[in-house]
Amino acid sequence: MSPRSISILGVTGSIGQSTLDVIEELRGQGAELDIEAVTAGGNLELLAATCRRLRPKFAAVAEPGQLGAAREALAGLGVEVGAGPSALEEAGARPAGWVMSAIVGAAGLQPTMAAVRRGATVALANKECLVCAGPLFIEAAKRHGARLLPVDSEHNAIFQVLTHPDRVEKLTLTASGGPFRTSSREAMAAATPDQACAHPRWSMGRKISVDSATLMNKGLELIEASYLFGFPSKKIEILVHPESVVHSFVHYLDGSVLGQLGSPDMRIPIGYALTWPDRAHLSTARLDLAKVGALTFEAPDTGKFPALLLARAALDTGAAATTALSAANEVAVEAFLGGRIGFLDICRIVEESMSVLEGSGAASIAKSPTSFDEVAVVDQAARGAARRIAGSLAAA
């Protein structure tokens, strides 16, 4: 593998730390991987421990007010420190050839765009970039010659087997079904944040874990796949596959179906994105199909998990609707994790926020944003609507 300079946006998260593992393993095999920049939200302790291991040139934290504390935490490590939105963007703009985009939520958009604008190779874990600003994001990547390598396991799987994009009949995104696949609506109504975050197969950050429990994660992935691979909603199906062994399928016009299999370990797609078009030798868990025994598949229950219908409707409506869906969902998930609303309120808030925004002037979800400023207007309007609805549910 040739020498590479790397930046990791969201290094203190689940994906960020798995990326760190992969980098250390490859370095152990002699790969020359230099770290240009890293970013964190507010976890200074983990940021400092990570900087001790990675020795990046630059580290940025999200809050401007944390600059002093971040400098103190990283003192003596020879790392330049920045804070606030412009520092996060600087981390994306610094000259790394390969950038891991793993900040959670729409907060990842501008730092990732800074990498896209200088034509970097972007390993895209942050699906909200695409859901929030899909067509503009894809168009910017094309214009600036940035290569997008999907890290989300399903999209990485499709990327690995999408040998003939013009000969595809349909894509199948597999879904584990989350922790409430077999739960009753009553049990879901009473679910706590910790129960919702106890994913049966994957260990992930809390926001995506809740998204997996509502199946909104699969809805966001449907949108992500549509924008990333250029297929309409009707050509992308979702199938529940509780074993999480097949990470997605591509169905071709000749009747062939290609899938990618592997243990549920994000270091596999991260390693693939980091070494593509090569493949690395990684000490990830090996798939033992005899031990797995049976692979099962079932249609999702959209009555129990309406997030799938909401996401599909948003994708069919257009780019502003997917922006609004993602923003309202972020607010609702935060309210649930904060103990202010119930689990079933998440989708209710998203649905009602979408209704509020239908035909609401500049923030109407019927329009397609033509600039990132217009995306921000829709995003803010959806957050405002979702906060109001969450507030009234919390007060009830």
Which spans of this chain sit near ligand NDP (rule: CB under 6 A)? 10-16, 39-43, 62, 88, 102-104, 107, 125-128, 152, 202, 204-205, 207-208, 266
**Can you say whether residue 14 is alpha, beta or left, with left for phi > 0 and alpha for psi between -120 and 50 degrees?**
alpha
Q: How far apart are CA 310 and CA 143, in angstroms?
A: 31
Q: How many CB atoms lie within 10 A of CB 201?
A: 18
In 3D space, the residue among 238, 288, 291 whose CA is nearest the CA of residue 262 turns out to be 288
- Distance of closest approach, residue 114 Cβ to ligand NDP, in angstroms: 13
Nearer to ligand NDP, 62 or 122 (CB): 62
Nearer to ligand NDP, 4 or 201 (CB): 201
Local structure of 300: helix, strand or coil: coil
Q: Report residue 213 as tokens.
A: 């429990």
Radius of gyration of the chain (CA): 20
- Distance of closest approach, residue 361 Cβ to ligand NDP, in angstroms: 28
- Distance of closest approach, residue 216 Cβ to ligand NDP, in angstroms: 10
| CA quadruple 289, 210, 127, 283: dihedral, nearest 10 | -40
Nearer to ligand NDP, 104 or 385 (CB): 104
- Distance of closest approach, residue 191 Cβ to ligand NDP, in angstroms: 19
Nearer to ligand NDP, 38 or 356 (CB): 38
Nearer to ligand NDP, 151 or 280 (CB): 151
- Distance of closest approach, residue 15 Cβ to ligand NDP, in angstroms: 4
Nearest residue to ligand NDP by CB is: 13
Nearer to ligand NDP, 202 or 231 (CB): 202
- Distance of closest approach, residue 82 Cβ to ligand NDP, in angstroms: 12
**88 and 105 Cβ atoms separated by less than 8 Å:** no
- Distance of closest approach, residue 348 Cβ to ligand NDP, in angstroms: 22
In 3D space, the residue among 272, 105, 162, 108 whose CA is nearest the CA of residue 116 turns out to be 108
Nearer to ligand NDP, 12 or 317 (CB): 12
Nearer to ligand NDP, 202 or 252 (CB): 202
Nearer to ligand NDP, 66 or 353 (CB): 66
- Distance of closest approach, residue 355 Cβ to ligand NDP, in angstroms: 25
- Distance of closest approach, residue 17 Cβ to ligand NDP, in angstroms: 8
Q: How far apart are CA 254 and CA 167, in angstroms?
A: 8
In 3D space, the residue among 164, 193, 163 whose CA is nearest the CA of residue 179 turns out to be 193
Nearer to ligand NDP, 125 or 168 (CB): 125
In 3D space, the residue among 339, 331, 334 whose CA is nearest the CA of residue 357 turns out to be 331
Residues contacting residue 334 through CB under 8 Å, at least 6 positions apart: 207
Q: Is 76 exposed, middle or buried (0-12, 13-18, 19+ CB in 10 A)?
A: exposed
What 178-184 contacts at long range (C-beta under 8 Å, 24+ apart), as own/partner pairs, is 178/212, 178/213, 178/214, 178/215, 178/217, 179/212, 179/213, 180/213, 180/304, 181/240, 181/242
Tell me which DSSP letter residue 234 carries. Answer: G
DSSP state string for 51-88: HHHH--SEEEES-GGGHHHHHHHTTTTT-EEEESHHHH
- Distance of closest approach, residue 14 Cβ to ligand NDP, in angstroms: 4
Q: How far apart are CA 49 and CA 51, in angstroms?
A: 6
**56 and 35 Cβ atoms separated by less than 8 Å:** yes
